[in-house]
Structures are given as structure tokens and as C-alpha cells.
Chains A and B, each alone.
Chain A
Amino acid sequence: MKNIIIYFCLVLLVFSCEDRLEITPDSKFTAANFFKNADDIEQVVTSAYAFLQSSGQYGESFHFLMEVPADNSKEVSLTIRGGDYGQFETFNINPANPILNRAWTDCYKAIQSCNIVLERIDGIPDMNENIKSIRKGEMQFLRALNYFNLARIWGDVPLVLKETVDPFDFFDVGKTPVAEVYNQIILDLTSAVQNLPQSQTQQGRVTKGAANTLLGKVFLNLGRNAEAETALRQVVGYSLQPTFASIFGKNFEFNSESIFEVSFIAGLEGEGSRLTNLFGVSSVVDAGEALNQNAPTLELYNLYTASDKRRDLTVGMGSGKTFPLKYIETISAPNDSDINVIVLRYADVILMLSEALNEQQYVADGEAFDLLNQIRSRAGISTLTSADLPDQESFKDAIALERRLELAFENHRWFDLVRTGKAVEVMNNSSQETATFTVQGFHVLFPIPQSQVDANPDDITQNTGY
């Protein structure tokens, strides 16, 4: 009997083996075994694109940071969804605002994916050199776009260009002066222009045109108008759609005017857009809630002349409410809309070029007029001559108004106001349809998310005024 027992014990003991402690996860990918081949790298590239759809970027937050503060758009209810969204309407922004925090975080997560690819792609053995350079170009563009948005929202921001090994290292990393951030953006975009092809087989990927457009926009933003002109003139292969009605919506995705757009698809898990539900009203939204956020102001509506074809394609009206039609469509399931978010389109290029030319020198009825009139003609409104716009200043105002009407709700308006130094003046004179507010100079930058100041109080100082 004794022997049996001892034997029994021993068998069981041998079984208890320390070698079993190394468990490889059965259903999760880990970084340790990843980033080894072309397929792996392609997945990281894809993830950088995926952040464009995120709620911190074009999926939600950007509309509240780039449109709602401006005069085209309003938050009808200041208390809706806990009041966090209304803060962008009244410039009463709490640094702990989650929309703000999401935007910051999702930009830097996207940058992290770009950095991983840029750092590792040269060492990937099974990848065609041509593809490598294209993917590099894509990542340089996306990194530049993310930094451009960060810089425009917050000014000085940390500049991270390497793959993160240990997040603890970042407790010593502070903000980089915005000028340096712009230098990096220009560097990335210049390189992206070299690396990218004129067109890509897969729709939605970055092209040379997109890189040139963004480069032009960056230069314009910095007041470097000649360089902006040069970059914008490199944007070739695009044309205005024949009508304004054929730009937005499911049927017109990736049209000849579209330069870079964020792709959303209904019916595929996680690929649908929530914007129809966020911005729509219950009379037009077929499924799910209709929050009627980011609503067009009546001031905007009234700025369009009656003959302007853009008015009724931009501002929806119903049961006393307004809504931005560029994001509204028939949906069959809640928060699952098909509508893409256009980031860059040719009409913007034309208006930017026109502006860059005028900024350099007013030429009566010159190229700048032709460009402006291309946009006006399509909209079905009268063309303008030097009789209407006799000097540089009046032309500037005309361009600003045209941009406002043409590009409403495409996340340009607030930055245009800031870029042209008009934000304080224009906003304080705006119709203030939801609530009265006062905009001060410091409001042109948003507060750094409280979580970042809290995590690293020595290096991350709050923007002035907050």
C-alpha cells in the first residue's frame, strides 16, 4: 500500500512542472512576435488610417473642435450629453473635457503607428522597395496631418518621432515650440511628396496630390504664400465636380474633386460613422438617436443668396431645426452611416491658391479672380470682377466668405478664422444663437487636456487663459 501511495504522489508531482509557466496568449497578438514581415507592417499602416475614423478625430471630436466654436455651427443644447459638447459653443472649456482629451490621445496614438512603420519598414525583408517607399510616404503624410491638427488646436505640443519603447521615458518629454513642429511637418510632407504616387489602386490611401495639398495648406497657415503657391500648383489630376450636388454622399465617394477622405462603411463592424446620428434630427434619422449637434446657424443660412445651389445642399431644415446635410443620409442601423468625411478637396485647393496669389500681390481680374469665380460659377452665383473687389483687402474678405460658404462643416472654418486673425472679432460679432459668450485672444488655442498636465506637470504647462 505504501508503495502505491508514494508512487501516486510522485506521478502527480512530476506533472507539476515549472516549464508550464510560460503561457503564450491563445487569442491575442503580442508585440514581441510582431512587426516581422510585410503583412505585419501593412497592419500597422492600416491602424494609422484607422485613427482617422476614431471618435477623437474625424469620427467625432474634430467637428466639435473645428466647426462648433466657429460661426457656421452651434450646439443647440448646452447640457446635451453631460454638457461637455456645449463647452465648445460658449468657449467655457474645461481642460478636463473628454472630447478634448480624446482628440489629443487619438492623434498621438496614430503618430505612434506612423513612427513604428517609419522606424521598422527599412528592415522588413519581404517587402518590395517601391511599396516600402509608398508606405513611408503615407505614414509621413498621416504623421504630418496629425501634427498639423495638434499644432492648430494646441500650439506648442510634444514632438514624438520615434517608436515608444517605454512610456515612462515620456515623463521627461515636454512641449516643442510650434515652429519646430511645423518644420517637422514640412519635412515629412516634402518627403511624402517624393515617396507617394500620383494615384493608388486602393481608394482611401494617401496620394502625392494629398501631400501637396496639405503642404500648401501648411504654408498658407504659416503665411509663406509663395511656397504655398508652389505646393498647390503641384496638385494635378483633380477637377471640380460638375455640380455641388455630386460631391458628398455615398454615391460620390472618391470623386474627381476628392483629394483625401476618411472612409466609412455601413454594415461592417466598426466601419460605420456616427455623424448622422450625432448631427441629424429625428425627422430625418431613421435609426437610433438624433442629437442635432453641430447645427448650422441661421446666420450661415442667410449668407447664401437665394440662387446659391450650395445653401440647400449644406443646411438642412425641418421642424424648426437645422442640420448639416453633408453628413446626413438614410441609415438602417444606429450609428452606422456610410458617409465619408472629406478632409481635402480640390475646391479648397483652388480657393487656397487664389488666396495665396492675392496675399502675394493683388492683381485686378488676375488668376486669383479666375480661381474664385470657378467656385462661384459652379455654385450658380455671379462671378466677381475687380469692380466688385477693387483691392487686396476686399478680395481677402471675398475669399474668406467663399471658403465659409463652400467648405462649411468640412472642419476648415475655425482654423480659417484663427489663421486670418479674425477669430475674436468675428465670433464676438456673430449671431450667438444658442447663448451669449465672449471670445478672448487666448481662445484661439484650446486648453491642453488636464490629464496631460496632471501626468507631467513639470513639462506640460497649461495654455494661457485656462
Chain B
Amino acid sequence: MKFKFTSNLSYSRSKFLKLLMRTFILLFCSITFAFGTKNGFSQNANITIKSDKTLTVKQVFKLINKQTDYKFIYRHDLIKNAPELSLKKGIIKAGDLLEKCLSPINFTYSFTKNNTVIVKAKPVIEKKKESKVDNVQMQISGKVVDANGQPLPGANILEKGTANGAQTDFDGAFSINVSTQKAVLVVSYLGFVTQEVAVSNQANIVISLVEDTATLDEIVVIGYGSQSRKKVTGAVAQVKSDQFKDVAFSDVANSIAGRLSGVDIKQATGSPGSSPQINIRGISTITAGSGPLIVVDGLPLSENVSITAINPNEIASVEVLKDAASAAIYGSRGSNGVILITTKVGSSGKPEFNFNSYYGFQTVGKKLDFVNAYQQAELMAEARTERGATIPNFIQPYLEGQQGLTQTNWQDHIFVNAPIENHEMTVSGSKDATKYFISGGFFKQDGIIIGSGYERYSLRLNLNTSFSDRLRFGIQINPSYSKRDLVEQGWEDSPISMGVNNSLPFFPVYNADGSYAISEQIRAAQVYGGIPEAENNVAISDLTKDVANSFRVLGGAHLEYDVTKELKAKTYVGGYISSIRSQYFRPSFLGFYRDEAPTIATGRSNTSEVINYIIENTLTYDKTFNEVHNLSVLAGITYQEESIERNRIDGRGFPNDDIQTVSAATEITNGSASKERWNLVSYLGRIQYDYKGKYLVSGTIRRDGSSRFGALTQFGTFPSVSAGWIISEESFFPEDVILSELKLRVSWGVAGNNQIGNDAKLAVLGSADYNFNGSISPGLRPATAPNENLSWEENTTADIGLDIRFFNNKLSLNIDYYETITDGMLLNVPVPSYSGFTSSLQNLGKMKNEGFEVALNYNGNIGPVKIKSSASFATNKNEVLELGPGQTEILRSRNITRIGDPIGSLYGYNIIGIFENQDQLDNLPNVNGNQVIGDYIFKDNNGDGSITSADRKILGSVHPDYTWGFNTMLEYNGIDLSFTFQGVEGVEVNDRNLGVVLINSEVWGNQLTEYYDNRWISPEQPGKYAKPGTNTNTLSRESDLFTWDASFIRVRDITLGYTMPKDVITKIGIKGMRVYASAKNPFMFTKFLGFNPELNGGNALDGGVTLGTYPIEKSIILGINVKL
């Protein structure tokens, strides 16, 4: 094979092949070297047992072979079912050792001349007559099932002390001939506790095995492979599907929120079909994307791909690679952490059908506490009197206290009770060498804002098969179709931004005939300045059409070949095609802000198509040398490419509202088409080594070449090393009933961030057209400054961790401390705009994130109650270490990023009270000399006697001091109860919506009761908010008035389920049934007055600022799960 490979090579000139060849040579050299080591010859030698261990007969042979040079000849099948042998640490004679392991299965051995040991069965000795009764052959049949009565196919049954064994079939049934009634059957199955059953006189035995919780989570998926949990040396967190099943979260990210330490999943918007923002261990970038790399079954998705289209119930596990040592294998995409999503594979045996349905109702999580119409009129009148503005006639009746007037709480109409439902069916099983998992699902969520919603139809086929002992094949195909109905997005026209606040309670939603009341507020307000001229927002949300249909196929196939027993070659080809088509139409009978109906109908049609594919070839080599040296090597090359094409047409002037496609527009106002591409060539390698599973080291390296980076910096190398010491494996470690496992981990690694857009390195020209003689002359001007040196951000992370397990692995504790330095941050440095550019993208600046994470898991029983519980706690401290040359801070309109402080701190003036009297007004600095009694006092922080921009200070951090989560699942007698808490502490936000409109003494739009109750009226009736109508300065000057404590504790879900007893359901012919009720987001505790304290960061420099987002929902669902 080796020969052929090299001869093939000569045909190719590719650089890569040379690399591959070198890898091969390296691999083969190490193999030869390993084979060459052997102890000297010795007859009847001493065999050293270095630690207490359990070995199979075969392993004993190997051990002797290694230490003595004896060769063994035996019939493999004869000793296959021999029991394992427990050996104590120490020295034993080879002969004694062989005797010890062969006699229980009635075998013996003999030495021959050539250092060969022949192993054969003992000659059968005639039994004495008196024992004849006992020796009657007896056939026993039975069934092996799990705790729920599900059959376990492929379980091993062994007659104790003999080589006599059997296996269960697909139905879990077996039959075995035993030699005596006193025989004991040893029943074992992977993932279950091995059980011994005395035969006695039973001819038919049902054996129920109990899950071995300690071994169930043994395998952890890591980049390009998987590893035993015990041997993981990086910071990897894992959630298994059974921990988040049956909760009505539409996507996987929301399902795992609050379950993993250091993984902050923010549900900043409740818009159905939206993806939450995920930040792993804080934000380590300024302008580049801060989202982690998401890898689905080995397919890395690009940063814009939503995982919302993946049905969470198809997912088997989610692993999060948190430190650079784990993520560095993903190179220039690993610095924000990596989320590995693994979908389910088929189970063994007959097809198992699973039906899962739920149905529920959602309502808005929180409504704002607005004043009523009479109070609103009172505030408006006060404000307008103070300013000397006219009192609008439409508030007069309210001021006069007339009864029976319109009092609309617009929230009651914009927010609706909305159904949510999910129905899915899965089939899982195997036939011959093929395992299959097929799933089909339908999910529909109506929005809690009128006119919004999401529907998803998804299918999945996962197939794994073996063509031969050495060739395996697998394929995953996941087509999905989704339809998302959005609400109007504009600032003033959208209920998710200003809409709710702009709509005054004096105007009705509906006319007497039930139709929408259109433009009433606009017409009434047009006469007066300073009143929002807002269109009926309920009508806008309901009647404006904004729909996005996406169709996506995501999938991959792999072929895996065992070149030798140790060396495996794998080729993976995967990718996705996604097509999104959006249509927008706003009818002419709706007005716009400040523009009463009828207006000009506008429409838009967008399409975008993304094609992404990856080709990946990896070689893995796994071998154990001398029993104690475990080596695993990975080498690979991957190529990934994506192209994105977008088209857009805008039209207006539709003759009527019947035909809403752009085709009907009388005027096309805009048409555009664009295409972008990126690609990535990568070489990767990893070596994992451990000595006796006790001392672990691992090293990875990846070299990435990306089209996104400058010509001078196209390739980057990302190394990592990590080590672990399982202290509990040491002989000095006491056999302790409390402490069952103790591992110390350290890691260091470098990963990158390439999320900067595709053309950032180039000096792109932007269009700047002009018209001479009435026709357009095309114009182009420099839009961005070039940078040939543009490169990835580099994250260097050091991590130290401790994994401790107690009470026979029932309780585990993981502690991590990390420090990440981000260097060469992609900083869109504001440059003096007299350069002709406002910013330039550079690799500048340094940032540090350090944090501490604790995860606690309990998995066991208290009496008859089964408990699965986990708690997580994480801190992260962000500090900017360096910025651009000579730059000490980056100031944005509401945030400041300053060296020594966290990125994007909220920034502005301090308000220290209200001018109570003339004396204060005369003596305290006053913003422009025009302030009056009752207005806010700005703090003269620099003491220069006037209020200038130099008086601004940091008002709060948008990064939480700590986040925590707690969830528990209790099971007792078929009843299960689970709940999840999530908490965020020590974070501030700037809610523009709340600040500008709701507690604004200008009384522009709706006001909160908070303002009404606490406004300053007179020195006799003081308050903490300015007197209505006095405040002309606070709105354009950010201050602590708009800064809110956004800490919260949220109960994310509570679920109560009941699993029908087996004897009841078998009567109706089904294998299992569970009914459940679940409440999502039922409670939240926070001081924040707005809809939702969780905000989407967007650009980190402008973090923690919201202009209003779709509020999140709370819901109650009922569900049923049936197994056939």
C-alpha cells in the first residue's frame, strides 16, 4: 500500500500532496519505531502489573508477549467469551498468570521450544455419578429490557465461570443452554450496569437492566472526532438531548440557554424565527462578528446561517468548545468558541416510531405600565403650558374630566394571544448493517405581535452503513422550508420600536364598523407641533406584508475506510444551499409617520441564494503501545467555499392593493444585484497521547488560508497544546467512596476570528451619481480604505481546569479559570474624516477577557426519586488593553471604549437632581443658560463651571458581572418535573425607547406611570423626574437617566410530565406514552422597566443600546409523546 501511494504521488505537483506525503512518512516512521521496541528474552519471567486493572484473556496474552517475547497460539473464537481477570498491582510469574486466567474457562497451556505457548481446552473429565442431576443440560430463554421495558438488542449473556454465552436479538430475546440449575447468568450491555441473575428453576427470565449513569456520557464530540469524556483536556461543555426535550423552544440555542457555564445565550428578541445571540466567554472582538462557529455534523456554517431551521428534537448532543485549545482546530474561525451540533443516528433493531406533538398559547411576557388617557392629557397639558405651546383640542375633553371618552391601551391590541404548535414523527432503527434515523416535523408559532409568525417544515434522513468490515458510509440530509412573517421594521412605524410609545390613548384602533381607524392621530396632531403624527400601529402591523420564505438543504456524506486497524481515512463532502425570497408590500390606505393616508403603495422583492460546500479529507491513527501508551493522531485538509447572490427590486405606485407583487408597480425605484464569495483552504493536525489514561497531552495545529485577508497575510497558523492529569488514577490516590475522580487540566492555544465580511481588505469604490442635462452620469468614489495587511484577530487563551466527581460519578464539579488575550483586533478605527474616509479597518488593539466558570451536575437518586440537576455559574471580565496608535478611547454616540475599561461602556452625563429653586439655578452650571426650575441638574464633573462634553463619564458596563443557570429534572413513579432558571447580574443597558419617550418630560408620546408618579411639579411637590415641558437638553445628551440596571432572574421553563405505566400501555399496543405540560418564560424578576432586559449587542462598540426590540413571549403548552 505504501508503495502504491508513493508511485501515485509522482503524478501530482500539488503542494498539498507533498504535505500529505510528509504526514504519511511521519506516521509510518512512528509505527515502525513503535513496533521495534520490545523487552528481552526470558524463560518463566516475572510479569509486572503496574496498577490494579481488569484485563481480558487476550490482553493478558499481549501483556505477557510484551514483557517476555512468548508468542501465543490459540483459537480466537474459543476464548472470546472468557471472563475478565482482575489483577492486583505487583509482580507475578508468567505461568501463574496464565493458570489464573485460563482455568476458569477450562483451558490449559503448554510451552513449546520456540518460545511459543499453545492454549487449548482441558480434556473433558467424566463427572462422577452423584453429580449427574446437577449436570442436566437446561435451556433457558428470556428477554433483556431497560427500565422502561424497552428491549435491548445485542446484550451479552454469559454463564458465569464458563465461556458459554449468547446475545439478544432485535427483540431483546435470547436463549442459552446452561449446564446446571445453579448457573448464574452475567448480563451486560453498553451503558448499563452489568447484572448477575441466578437461573434457579426459571425457564423464562425477563432481565431488566439499569442505566449506568456513570458511563452514559462517556463520549464527547470534539473538533474532527470524539473523545472519551475522561480524557478531554480542553474546556468542553456538553448538553445531551434528553436534557432539553419537550420544551417549546423553536431552536436549539434557546433550548440550551442557561445550561452551560460561560455560554451566554441572549434571547433579545421574541420575533418568531429569529436566532438568539450567542457569546462564549464574553466578547473578544470589537468590530468583527462575535458569534461562535457552529458546526452541524462536521459541517461548519458561515456566520450568517441561522440554526433556527434545525428542529431541536433531531439533535443528539450539543458540545461547546470554549477554550482556544479545543477551538484552535477550527483555526481562523475558532476564537469566539465553537458549537458542535450532532444529530441523532439510528438505534439498533426494529424500527421504533416516535410521535411528538404539542400545542400551546403564548402571550407577551410583559406590558409597559402606561398612564391612562386622563393622566396622559394632564401631562401633555402641563408640558405644553410650560413651553408655551397650544393645548391640543383633542385633549380638552380629558382635561375637563368628561367620562366615556376613548381610552386606548394600544398594547392590548398590538399584542395578541398566539398559538404555538409542533408535530413530528421519527423512525429510528437498523436493518443488517444499516442504521437509519428519519424525522419529519412541522412547527408553527404565531407572533405575539399581530401580523407576525413563523412556520417550519423539516425533514431529516441520517443513514449509516458498512459496505464491509473496513468501509463505512454515512449520509445526513436535512431539507427545511420556513416562512417568516415579520412586522414593520421602521423606526417610527414599527410596534417593536416607537410604535407602541407613539400611539396616544386618545385615538381609537377601530371604527364603529370594526374597520381600522386610519390616520386619525396624524390628522389631529398635524395641527400642533411636538406630538407624534403616528399611523395606527395595529393596522400597520396587521396589513403590511413582510414575508420571507426560505428553503434550505443542509447535509453531508462521508466515507470512512480502515486502511489498517489503526489507520482510518475519511472523506467528507458537505454543504448547504439556501434560498430566501422575501416580499414586502405596504398598501396605499395606510399612512406613514407624518404622512396621512392615502399614500403611495410601496413594494419590494428580494432574493438571496447561498451555496456553500466543503471537501474534507482526514486520516486518523489510533494505537496503544505496550499497553500503556495511547496515541491518537489526526491529519487533514479541508476546502470550503461559499457564494452569496442577492437581487432586489423596489417598486411603488401600485394601481390598487389587490396585486401586491412588484410586477404591478407603476414605477420601479430601485433594482440591484450583487454577488460575493469567500473561500478557505486549511490543513490541520492533532496528536493526542496519554500514558495509562493518567497523563494526557494533546497538541493541535491548523493552517488557514482565507480569501478574506490581505495578500500579504493570507495564511495563518493556529497552534494549541493541552495537558491533563487524572490524579485519581494514581496509586497513591486513596480508594475513596466520596471522591471518585479528580482531573487537572491546563491548556493554551491560539484561534482566530475571520468574521469581517468578504471584501474588507479591498479599497471598494462606492457609487456617487449625479445628473447633468437631466440624465444620470455614473460616479464612483473611494468608499473604503484598502489594507493589504488585513488579517484575522488572534485570540490566545490559557485555561486551567479541575474536574471532580463524587459518589461514584453521581456528582460532578467542573471548575475553569481562563484568560484570553485578543490581539490584532479588527478595528474599524475612526480616522479623521478630513482624510476622506471616516474609518479604516485595521488589525489593532488588544483586549483581555478573564473569567471563572463552575458547573455542577448531579445525576442520581434520592430514595425513589431520580434526579438530574445541573447548575452553572460564570464570570467574565473584559478589559481593553490597547487601541489604535495613540488612541486611548473610541467614543460613539452612547458608548465609550477606553483602555483599561470594558469595551463599549455606556457613556454620558450624570444627572444629580432637579433645579429646586432660583438660587440653585443661579449658582449651578446650567447647560446653555436656558434651563429653568424643575429641569435636571447636570453634574459638572470636571468642575470648570460649565456643562460641556468633557463632563461625560462612564455610566455603566454592558457586560454582566456574572451569569448563572440552574435546572433540575425529577422523576418519580412515572411523574417528571423539570425547571430551568437563568440569571444575569451586574449589567446596564441604555433603552432609547424608554429614555426618549417614556420618561421624557417633553411629553412627546406615551408616558409611564413611573414618570407620572415621580415628576417634579413644584418645590412643594418635588420628584425625581423633570417638570413636564422643561427639559430640552437631556434628550440630545445621553445621561444616566437612560441607563438601567438590566440584571434579571428568569424562569425559562417548568415542565410537568407523566409517563404511562407499562402495563397500561402495552394493553393498547404501544411501547410508551408520556403527556406533559410546560410553561416557558413564566416568571421574570428584574428592576428594568422595559420589555426585555436582554439586548442584542450588535457592534460591540455600541453595545447595550436598544431602539426597541420585539418583546419576548411567555407560553403554556400541552404535549404528548407516543412510542410505537
B contacts, CB < 8 Å to A: 1, 4-5, 8, 12, 14-17, 20, 468, 470-471, 526-527, 529-530, 533, 559, 561, 563, 569, 571, 573, 592-596, 599-600, 615, 617, 637-639, 641, 652-653, 667, 669-670, 673-679, 681, 705-707, 711, 714, 758-759, 762-765, 768-774, 776-782, 785-786, 829-840, 842, 884-886, 889-891, 893, 927-930, 948-949, 996, 1002, 1004, 1032-1033, 1035-1037
Contact = CB atoms under 8 A, between A and B. Distances in A.
Given A9-B571, A18-B681, 9 more contacts: A1-B468, A6-B8, A13-B17, A20-B707, A25-B764, A30-B763, A30-B764, A46-B778, A438-B929
A287 B1032 contact: no
Contact of B669 (A78, A168, A269): A269
B797 to A, nearest CB: 27
A236 B893 CA distance: 49
B786 A6 contact: no
What are the 4 A-B residue pairs with the smallest beta carbon separation, nearest first?
Answer: A112-B836, A46-B779, A289-B594, A16-B639
A459 to B, nearest CB: 8
A2 B1 contact: yes
Interface residues of A, number: 116
Interface in A68-92: 76-80, 82-84, 86-87, 90-92
A289 B641 CA distance: 46
A111 B782 CA distance: 12
Given A23-B678, A169-B835, A460-B832, A333 B600 contact: yes
B838 A105 contact: yes
A253 B831 CA distance: 39
Contacts of A128: none
A49 interface: yes
A269 B674 contact: no
A171 B832 contact: yes
Given A14-B12, A20-B679, A171 B886 contact: yes
Contacts of B468: 1
A204 B771 contact: yes
Contacts of A387: none
A18 B765 contact: no
B780 A44 contact: yes
Interface in A1-45: 1-3, 5-10, 12-18, 20-23, 25-32, 34, 40, 42-45
B785 A164 contact: yes
A135 to B, nearest CB: 13
Nearest to B619: A9
A23 B681 CA distance: 13
Contacts of A8: 559, 571
Contact of B765 (A28, A332, A452): A28
A420 to B, nearest CB: 26
Given A13-B617, A21-B714, A437-B930, A287 B599 contact: yes
A289 B893 CA distance: 26
Interface of A: 1-3, 5-10, 12-18, 20-23, 25-32, 34, 40, 42-53, 76-80, 82-84, 86-87, 90-92, 94-97, 104-105, 108-109, 111-113, 115-116, 157-158, 160, 164, 166-171, 173, 202-205, 263-265, 267-271, 282, 287-292, 319, 332-334, 435-438, 449-452, 454-456, 458, 460, 466
Contacts of B561: 1-2, 5
B955 to A, nearest CB: 16
B769 A50 contact: yes
A205 B780 contact: no
B780 A29 contact: yes
14 contacts: A20-B679, A25-B762, A46-B777, A47-B768, A48-B781, A50-B768, A97-B1036, A113-B768, A160-B834, A171-B886, A269-B669, A290-B594, A333-B653, A437-B930
Contacts of B776: 268, 271
A16 B837 CA distance: 37
Given A23-B677, A26-B675, A167 B596 contact: no
A451 B832 CA distance: 8
A391 B996 CA distance: 55
A7 B571 CA distance: 11
B379 to A, nearest CB: 15
B17 A32 contact: no
Nearest to A16: B639
A27 B673 contact: yes
B1004 A79 contact: yes
B124 to A, nearest CB: 44
Nearest to A32: B763
Contact of A287 (B559, B595, B831): B595
B906 to A, nearest CB: 15
Contact of B706 (A21, A50, A52, A104): A21
Given A113-B781, A282-B596, A287-B600, A94 B8 contact: no
A288 B595 contact: yes
Given A96-B893, A450-B891, A21 B681 contact: yes
B772 A203 contact: yes
A437 B928 CA distance: 9
Nearest to A160: B834
Contacts of A17: 14, 639, 681
Nearest to A43: B780
B14 A90 contact: no
Contacts of A20: 641, 679, 681, 707
A265 to B, nearest CB: 5
A466 B946 CA distance: 10
B600 A454 contact: no
Most buried by A among B677, B778, B780, B1002: B780
Contacts of A451: 830, 833, 838, 891
A94 B842 CA distance: 30
Given A13-B617, A263-B770, A77 B832 contact: no
A7 B8 contact: yes
Contact of A47 (B12, B527, B780, B891): B780
A23 B14 CA distance: 20
A15 B617 CA distance: 12
Nearest to B594: A289
Contacts of A104: 833-834
A340 to B, nearest CB: 10
Given A44-B779, A44-B781, A450-B891, A334 B595 contact: yes
Most buried by B among A50, A263, A271, A456: A50
Given A79-B1002, A109-B781, A112-B836, A271 B769 contact: yes
Nearest to B1000: A79
A258 to B, nearest CB: 14
A51 B4 CA distance: 67
Contact of B707 (A23, A160, A263): A23
B1036 A5 contact: no
B844 to A, nearest CB: 10
B840 A282 contact: no
Contacts of A173: 832, 834-835
A203 B272 CA distance: 53
Contact of B14 (A14, A25, A115, A436): A14
Nearest to A101: B833
Given A12-B571, A289-B595, A25 B676 contact: yes
B751 to A, nearest CB: 20
B781 A112 contact: yes
B706 to A, nearest CB: 7
B1037 A94 contact: yes
Contacts of B4: 2-3, 6
B515 to A, nearest CB: 24
Contacts of B833: 104-105, 108-109, 449, 451-452, 455
Contact of A454 (B526, B681, B891, B1037): B891
A438 B926 CA distance: 14
Contacts of B884: 168
Given A16-B637, A47-B781, A203 B773 contact: yes
A321 to B, nearest CB: 9
Contact of A14 (B17, B530, B927, B1036): B17
